[in-house]
Amino acid sequence: MEAQEKRRYIITKCYKLLLLKGFDGVSISDIQKECGVSRGLLYHYFGSKEDLFYEVVSKVTLPKFYISSDETCGMNLREALTYIYDKYYKICINDELKGISLLNFDFLTYRATQESKIIRTQYEEVQSQELKVLKIAIDESVMNGDMIIDVNHRELAIFTSSLISGIWMNSLYEGDIDVLFKRLEDVLTLHLTLLKHK
């Protein structure tokens, strides 16, 4: 196995461990056992457990939540929210988060953004892109007559993004993916109704 392929393999395996046990619950021995590699090789590739942790967040976790403007081009707000909802749900299902503490999943990103300036910048880019996508969708909704609302479109995009983040945060302790997404769907549907979105 080539070096880059081996690094990717270790990062992917470590991601699953971090979801199951959380950062403080995962030891270098756990990673060695899961990946079938020596301690020396791990330190050769990553330097420390923290460096590996940052790689997991940078290469696996954050890219999953990046939404390209091309993906949502021409969508109104309802369509964009449905797209975001479906994308996040697929991430949770594909990563087998059912039965896994959502706190572990969320804490991966939160802790990394507190400890690494590079990760914080990457996280801010993901958030900024979500706002951009929402604002474009709001513009599209107003332009198409799907929604008539006399508010600042950027402020409405920030509010909508905050709703999504708030629902996620309020559901972390439950750990039930389906409850989280039912709540998200209900609140976003109410949000669209209040905006008089068709």
* Between 95 and 60, residue with greater pLDDT: 60
Domains in the chain: boundaries: 3-59, 65-194
The CATH architecture to which 65-194 belongs is Orthogonal Bundle (1.10)
CATH class of 3-59: mainly alpha
Q: Which pTM does this prediction carry?
A: 0.88
The one-character DSSP state at 59 is I
| Highest mean pLDDT out of 13-17, 96-100, 113-117, 134-138 | 134-138
Q: What is the amino acid identity at position 69?
A: S
Neighbours of 129 (CB within 10 A): 15
Q: For 42-109, where are the E strands, in sequence order?
A: none
Maximum CA pair distance of the chain?
Answer: 61
**Helices within 58-100 (DSSP H only):** 62-64, 77-94
